[in-house]
Structure 1
Amino acid sequence: MTMTKLQIACQTFTWEMLGPRFTGGPDDLIRAIADGGYAGIEITDTMIGHYATDPAAFGRALDAAGLRLVAFAFGSDSGFARPDHIAADLEAAKRWVGYAAHFPGALVSMGSATVVTDGPRDAHFAVAAEVYNRAAEIGQAAGVQVAVHPSSHHNTLLFDRADYDRIFALLDPGVGWVPDTGHILRGGQDMGDTLASHAARIRYVHLKDVDAQGQWAMLGDGVCDTPAVIAAATAAPQFNGWLVLEEESATAAADPAAAVKTNRATLRRLGL
């Protein structure tokens, strides 16, 4: 079996989580990520800024920095779980799929289904599955893979193993998955078993760390067994080789650029 060539990218949420304390723009993100030693970037609809309507210009900026777009990530105030927002969420999916289509190999990552209204969990799961499935159909028509990114943040619908099993049972085979090591650990899941059980859906991996209490930690300072995660990912049939580092710790909140550079150095010590 041929070993998948691993490439290392950085997610822009490390800056997005700062909220109004981050006063820069997408060019600052590109510069910091390139300076940090990364080969790729995953950017969100919140952070794309003035490039939102000009993918060609964004592509030129990435080329100049030596970066590739790994994925475009977007979320929704609906949590992808409100029936009255399905049409709007699918319009957003169409927009960002069209954007990602300008970048060969780039995926669209859809955020975690989240409970934002009252009602039975069954209904929330059904709406989320419909949105994810129909978004993946939009992606397939455009030649862009669409993947789901569960989280452990407030009111997520996709927190523990039972939630993962439930949503994946409702999704078409063509809907991918972006496993996030930090969120998986915070959900109390067995990392190896979760990755192996849904290996066919893995497209790329969000790599980050937490301590034994589930608090965010710099990569290598927590309980995540990074070599084991990489081994599991490379065994997945549709894994594309990208490890996307995302940092949410207090250290990163104090200095995002320095934190992502440190995480890249941590992976280099593992030979990556």
Structure 2
Amino acid sequence: MTKGAPMLKPACQTYTWEMLGDAFRGEPDDLLAAIGAAGYQGIEITDTMIGAYAGRPGAFAEALAKNGLVLVAFACGSSSGFTEEAALAEDLAMVERALAFTAAFPGAVLSLGSATVMSPGPREAKFAAAARFYNAAGEAGRRHGVTVAFHPSSHHDTLLETRADYDRIMELTDPTLIGWVPDTGHILRGRQDILDTLETYATRIRYLHLKDVDASGHWAMLGAGACDIPAVVATVAKAPNFNGWLVVEEESEEAGRDPAAAVAKNRRMLKDAVGV
């Protein structure tokens, strides 16, 4: 680790359970228990999986402490894909509620999902709408004292997949207002040179999502795919605004069969790969 770099810390994202859809019958406490038992120190939870703790940061803080966890990030999305101009006011109202919740956890980041195309229209207009939303959300975060970042993905109809897409959204958004959560799996699925992308936009990095894919872009367990985890972590560790959190997220078929076992396996793999 570079001199002056933050200490690396392992965390887990709850989308591994969310991707099960209606097949998941548990509660947020089940996620906290599984993630804490696996040896993670932090959690990134989504607005979908927060469940009964929505709007109740005090109760959620108690549940985190019970499982030896801290909140790394609160991740939020919208049915607008953040690209519908008519939904801007509604989306920013959601951001205000999310910021009020996130602000109760010192150091936690509000992570906003990938801009996604939800209706016909010019791509440049979609980029402009997404940038207006992200910049306004970042300004709201500044008022609340909460760091805000966006998280590009490679899922269906995403606006942010290729390097050209990343270049455009970075150009349109204010680096003093809105950060970036790079996701190794999504970057690789976008056929990008991952280390070059990370180095080019290093100042925008707030924390890291670690996922793996095979050579054809299918999700793989961490360490079983094409991601050079030690090289990625070494690169991100040098980023000046990186807070040290390595957030493992798993979307593979193996995780779909047993999420708790999969995230525990990834925790062991992360320790073997980078000593964290």
TM-score norm. by structure 2 comes to 0.98
Alignment gaps of 5+ in structure 1: none
Cα deviations by residue, 1:64-116 (Å, 9 ceiling, x for unpaired): 11100000000000000001100000001111011000000000000000000
Deviation of residue 173 (structure 1)?
Answer: 1.4
Determine the structure 1 residue equivalent to 2:235: 232
- Helix, strand or coil for the counterpart of 2:111? strand
- The count of aligned residue pairs is 272
Q: Which residue number corresponds to residue 208 of structure 2? A: 205
Residue 263 of structure 1 pairs with residue 266 of structure 2: yes
Aligned pairs for 1:115-154 within 5 A: 115-154=117-156
Cα distance in 1 for residues equivalent to 2:269 and 2:5: 22
Taking the TM superposition and a 5 Å limit, the aligned residue runs for 1:217-256 are: 217-256=220-259
The residue matched to 1:43 in structure 2 has which SS? Answer: strand
Q: 1:77 aligns with which of 63, 76, 79?
A: 79
> Residue 267 of structure 1: CA displacement?
1.1
Structure 1 SS opposite 2:80: coil
List aligned pairs for 1:1-272, cutoff 5 A.
1-174=3-176, 175-270=178-273, 271-272=275-276
How far residue 135 of structure 1 moved from its aligned partner, in angstroms, is 0.3
CA deviations on 1:22-63 (whole Å, 9 max, x unpaired) are 011100110010011100000010000000021100001001
Q: Runs of 5+ in structure 2 lacking a partner?
A: none
C-alpha distance in structure 2 between counterparts of 1:135 and 1:53, whole Å? 18
**Partner amino acid for 1:182?**
G
Give, as a single letter, the amino acid of the residue that structure 1 aligns with 2:108.
A
Q: CA deviation at 1:268?
A: 1.4
Percent identity reads 61
Q: Which amino acid aligns with 2:29?
A: D
* Stretches of 4+ aligned residues off by more than 4 angstroms: none
The Cα RMSD (Å) is 0.6
1:119-175 alpha-carbon deviations (Å, 9 max, x no partner):
000100000000000000000011000000000000000010000000000000121
> 2-side partners of 1:100 and 1:3: how far apart?
24
Shift of residue 3 of structure 1? 3.2
1:69 aligned counterpart, secondary structure: strand
Given the two structures, how large is their TM-score scaled by the length of structure 1? Answer: 0.99
Amino acid at match of 2:105: F
Distance 2:56 2:95 in 1: 17
Other structure's SS at 2:75 match: strand
Aligned with 2:99: secondary structure?
helix
